Structure 1
Amino acid sequence: MTMKVYLAGPEVFLSNAKEVLAHKSELARAAGFTPLAPGDLEIPRTDSKYERGIAISAIDEQLMLASDLIIANLTPFRGISADVGTSFELGFMCALGRQVYGYTNVAASYLERTSRDYYKGMINSDASGKLTGSDGLSIEDFDMADNLMLEGGIISRGGVFVRKAVPDGRVLTDLAGFKECLILAAEKYLR
């Protein structure tokens, strides 16, 4: 029996989401895994958008419950951090005690992105080195790719967090980090 891997990430929002997820599924199968991805199950027709959203959430949870492993695309999406849905999925799998891997296609640290993209360089440092934004809120400075709970959750469970730098036009579509996660997970769990 092969391990089932849940493919999480903001690719579901791409105009060619089906093709991208199909390619990721092909790569997972080639590495020896059985891929499970959002969109694999039929979403029932509902009377409202709200009910449809609840149905999609339930289906994705079903897929995660059936999975042994998650590979999460934690590339910043619509802001300075990973997609919030993908972050939920990573936390869900961590809570289940499943194997967790993640990758990002943006090499800049969370601190760099917060300073540059959110505060536009307007950060302060006190005598102890604590960083704050122009609004007085403290800023995480742990040399991590995103919020410490994401990378910490992966590393503390024996997973790997891969950080890549890819051209802007390929940030949400480049699969080098995904492939590296597949290789590392296969070496650990399938050999």
Structure 2
Amino acid sequence: MSRPLRLYLAGPEVFRPDAAAEGERLAALCREAGAEGLFPLHADGVDIRQACIDMIEEADALVANISPFRGIHMDPGTAFEVGYAEARGKPVFLWSDDLRSLVERVPAGADGRDREGNLVEDGDRPENLMIVDGRRVWRTPEEAIAEAITALAFTMKNRELQRMARSYVMLALAVSLFVALAAGFLVNRLVGW
């Protein structure tokens, strides 16, 4: 039997005072859905960046909380993890507890610019287009986890079928080798008479 789908749980939850409990809650949501949640909570003295990268490498997909954190945008560490996962070809599933678009969150004048004169993205997205363009952003982690499992079910089934096919090929090879050796032995016995 194959291992469960592994989901890296990215987000600012690691900064919460109850980080371990929240990580366990998110991992439990994954278990209930039939997946393994990888929550990046580390002890002091660990190279946290490398440990997170290693966990993303182990994961089949990334589920990221892109809710505003310490301002109007998502946690920058989570943004890095989303980008890293994408660069590695990992599917990314997003959720946010604030689905308002950036133009709704950032006060802008009639010209679409904020107080400093910078253009506010008006793409009806809850985060910068480099993060969310072309992706649905779910309201809860449960919804994002369920979507990840549904979207990757075919991939996991295909992986299991490939594993089984390799096993059958190896078995067929072993049987063929045995039959060939047995036939050779039989021919040698018959010719040797």
Asked if these proteins are the same fold (TM beyond 0.5), I'd say yes
2:110 counterpart of 1:124:
yes
Match of 1:135 in 2: 116
Could you tell me which runs of 5 or more consecutive residues in structure 2 were left unpaired when the two chains were aligned.
155-193
Q: Distance in 1 between matches of 2:10 and 2:115?
A: 34
Match of 1:150 in 2: 131
Could you tell me which runs of 5 or more consecutive residues in structure 1 were left unpaired when the two chains were aligned.
46-51, 116-121, 126-130, 165-176
Q: What secondary structure sits across from 1:81 in the alignment?
A: coil
Alignment of 1:1-191 (within 5 A): 1-39=3-41, 43=43, 45=45, 55-115=47-107, 123-125=109-111, 131-152=112-133, 155=135, 160-162=136-138, 164=139, 177-190=140-153
Q: Distance in 1 between matches of 2:34 and 2:53?
A: 23
CA contact (8 A) 2:66 2:78 kept: yes
Match of 1:173 in 2: none
**Structure with a larger share of its residues in helix:** 2
Root-mean-square deviation over aligned CA pairs? 1.6
> Would you say how many aligned residue pairs link Structure 1 and Structure 2?
152
Identity of aligned residues (%): 30
Q: What secondary structure sits across from 1:184 in the alignment?
A: helix
Offset at 1:107?
Answer: 2.4
Match of 2:170 in 1: none
Match of 1:172 in 2: none
Offset at 1:137?
Answer: 1.5
**TM-score normalised over the length of structure 1:** 0.74
Q: Distance in 2 between matches of 1:190 and 1:31?
A: 12
**TM-score normalised over the length of structure 2:** 0.74
Q: Which has the higher contact order (CA 8 A, sep 6+)?
A: 1
CA contact (8 A) 2:102 2:127 kept: yes
Higher-Rg structure is: 2
